[in-house]
Each structure stands twice: as structure tokens, then as C-alpha cells.
Amino acid sequence: MKIPILDLKSQYQKLKAEIDQAIANVLESSQFVLGPEVKKLESEIADYLDVKYAIGVNSGTDALIIALRSLDIGLGDEVITTPFSFYATAESISVVGAKPIFADIDINSFNIDPKTIVDKITSKTKGIMPVHLYGQPAAMSNINSIAKEYNLKVIEDCAQAFGAVYYGDCVSCNQDCHQDTRQHLTGKHVGSIGDVGAYSFYPTKNLGAYGDAGMIVTNDDKIADLAKMLRVHGSKKSYHNELLGYNSRLDSLQACILRVKLKYINQWNQARHHIAQTYNQLLENTPDIIVPQITQGHVFHQYTIRVTNGKRNQLKDFLAQQGIGSMIYYPIPQDQLPVYENQYQPSPVSIKLADEVLSLPIYPELSLEDVKIVTENIHKFQTDH
Ligand SMILES: *Cc1c(COP(=O)(O)O)cnc(C)c1O
């Protein structure tokens, strides 16, 4: 690909000296699992996000699973979530023995639509799991008020949104739309708004390790205590195991890489935001293309357009022929995946968007000239078809 959807190598080349040194230091110390590097990363991330606790684990998926377990959510319980996400979201709920219940999404934000949550609440509902999809904060103010009214826990899936800041739901439409009138003017990092947040540091995420890694964040002492136990086989003290837990420790090598990268995350997220703005300007008024809303605090893990003329797959193939990468996140809503064997009726908005979405190349090192080439090719496709 001339313009890939993502380029991890260019970032490594820029940081090579720093990262190689950090890795060499860990090898020299020979403390490979948890240890001082992980402790430092946890405290730096807790400071960055302004939360009391950050607990490093093996992956974003484990962060979700352990977060649910720490809230004592399991067999017989229901958790309401979005149908439009990577399967790890619903999978974590199923894996702990609970049942995912799918609301629908808001067509402008791609995030869970709070208006569709209340109808799904039953006596078994224990929690709501919003996803800050593509790096855009979900409508947390609405979600938190529903949770408060029905006594539910809120578990934020922040896997795609490291650095994203939530500035409140829009006052005029009561959604997380891009209006400038916000209920709250001081922003909060995602993960610090609900009861517990789960982050992924999978290599392709905005803050990515060089292998699997994740983190649980919370301000709640009890959740933090349980999460710390669950990541090490349910023990506080070695060989005195109290709970059925996991081996979900964070590696020092991943932690030292993340510590180097954390220093650059704001700069990288700003670059992503700028790329998204440029795309929006260049794609404005293209027939059958709907560009994403640009909200304050959105970190554009993905830049995702809607192709509304039924030719999304043809556009994707055309771009590939020109050497331009693109991806469909997600072709099948989670509730329609084979694993759930027709247990769920599709949610209308999510099933519609699964046929329309197309994510274009975005990463901090992507040049604006390349953005221009991508958009010129989209224009060319639209005039030829
Ligand atoms: C990546 C991702 C996860 C899972 O994270 P891993 O670190 O790959 O386990 C969960 N939810 C969403 C929305 C993701 O994008």
C-alpha cells in the first residue's frame, strides 16, 4: 500500500533511540513481570487521567473482564451495551457469565444512544457498558443519570480512546453531538466518568505497546482492591489465594515502551484531530459521503465516513487498487455475530451503519499531502460511478 491505513513502523523509527534504551534497561534489571516499570506507568497514567487507581493487566479484553468481576457482575446478570463495537466488548460480558443486552447507536456519533437504553432495563440489569468508539466520548452525562436512576454500574470501554476528553452532552439535543453548547465546560478523561474504565494498549491503539497490554482505571477503593487481586490469581498475598482469578499481569517491557510513548500522546492525538479536520474540509459536499462529526476531545482512533449510495465495498476496492488502505469497522454488529446464533433482533441504526462505514488512513505521522491524495481518489470514484 502506498498509503496504508496505519503505519506503526514510522513511529518506531522516530522513537527508536528512546525505546531501545528503555528496553535495554528492563533487560538489564531483569524484572520482567509487574515490577517498578509497571508501578511507574500506573502512577503516570493515574495522574494523566486524573483517577485514583490505574491497574495494569494483560490486555484490554482482560481489563473489561476484570472490571466486570470487580463489580461482582456475573451469572444471571444483564449488562446493556452497544451493538456497534469490536466483539471484545460483548465477549467480556458473556465470558463472566452475564448476558449482553444491546441498545442501539446514535447515527451521528456511532456511540450508544442513551434514548435506547431505558427500554432494555429489566430486574436483572446490573450495568451499562458504553464504548467510546473511534475515539469519541459517548454521551456519559445521560448514561450516568440513567445508571443513577436505576442503580446500575457504568463500565467504560476506553480501548479506542486514550487521551479522549469528555466535555458533556449537548444541551440542545441531549446527545453527544458536536454543538458548542455543553453542560460542563471542564473536560474529564474517559474512564474517569463511570464507575470503572478499561483501556487497551494493543499495538494499533492510540497509545500502543509492542504486544498485548491493558489497564483498569477507577476512583473506587473496593473495585481497585478486587481488580489487583483478580489479575494475580485472586490473591493479595502470594500463595494465599482467595478468589478465582486470572494470570493477567502487565509485562515490564510493555510498560517501559508505554512510558516512552505516553510523553507524546497529546501531540499525536492533536495530529489525528488535525488530519480529521483536513479530511472533513476536503470531503465536504461530496455526494453520498457523510463525514464524521468533529467534537472537542475526540481523538480519532479511526476516521470513519459513511458511504450512502450502497457502493461502500466498491469504493474500498477502488481505493485498494490505487494503493490506499481502508477498513470496515465493523461489517457485522456484535449482536449479529455467529457466536450469538440469532439470539438478538438487529438494532436498526447499527445494522444500517454496518453497510455504510468506511475507515480511512489515519495515524499521527500521516502527511496532509497523503490525506489530499485519499480524498482526490474518493472524488474520482464518486464522479466515475
Ligand atoms: C481493542 C478493543 C478491545 C480489546 O482490547 P485488547 O487489548 O485487544 O484485548 C475492546 N474493546 C474495543 C472497543 C476495542 O477496540
| CATH number for the domain harbouring residue 356 | 3.90.1150.10
User: Residue 180: what pLDDT?
Assistant: 47
pLDDT tens by residue, 178-190: 454 555 456 899 9
Distance from the alpha carbon of residue 201 to the mean position of ligand 1, in angstroms: 8
Rounded CA separation 178/173 (Å): 10
Ligand 1 atom closest to the Cα of residue 214 is 7
Tell me the pLDDT of the chain averaged across its residues. 95
**Do residue 322 and residue 230 come from a single domain?**
no
**Domain stops at, among 200, 234, 262:** 262
**Do residue 258 and residue 270 come from a single domain?**
no
**Domain stops at, among 208, 236, 262:** 262
**Do residue 274 and residue 256 come from a single domain?**
no
Place of cell 479530511: 279
Rounded CA separation 351/102 (Å): 12
Residue 169: which pLDDT band, with cuts at 50, 70 and 90? confident
Ligand 1 atom closest to the Cα of residue 202 is 7
Distance from the alpha carbon of residue 60 to the mean position of ligand 1, in angstroms: 5
Residue 20 has pLDDT above 70, yes or no: yes
Cβ neighbours for 6, distance < 8 A, ≥ 6 positions apart: 204, 325, 361, 362, 363
Q: Is the separation of the CB atoms in 106 and 349 below 8 Å?
A: yes
**Do residue 74 and residue 149 come from a single domain?**
yes
315 lies in which domain range?
Answer: 265-384
Ligand 1 atom closest to the Cα of residue 201 is 7
**Do residue 78 and residue 105 come from a single domain?**
yes
User: Residue 175: what pLDDT?
Assistant: 55
Predicted model pTM: 0.96
pLDDT tens by residue, 32-53: 999 999 999 999 999 999 999 9
Residues with CB under 6 A from ligand 1: 59-61, 85-86, 88-89, 131, 157, 159-160, 200, 202, 212, 214
Give the count of domains, the chain. Answer: 2
Distance from the alpha carbon of residue 26 to the mean position of ligand 1, in angstroms: 26
Neighbours of 148 (CB within 10 A): 10
**Do residue 68 and residue 83 come from a single domain?**
yes
**Do residue 326 and residue 253 come from a single domain?**
no
pLDDT tens by residue, 254-312: 999 999 999 999 999 999 999 999 999 999 999 999 999 998 899 999 999 999 999 99
Report residue 309 as a C-alpha cell: 449510495
**Do residue 157 and residue 298 come from a single domain?**
no
Note whether residue 143 is domain-resident. yes
**Domain stops at, among 227, 262, 297:** 262
Please give the order of strands across the beta sheet that includes 289-290: 289-290, 303-307, 357-360
Residue 264 to residues 11, 56, 114, 208: CA-CA distances in angstroms?
A: 11, 20, 33, 12
pLDDT tens by residue, 112-159: 999 999 999 999 999 999 999 999 999 999 999 999 999 999 999 999
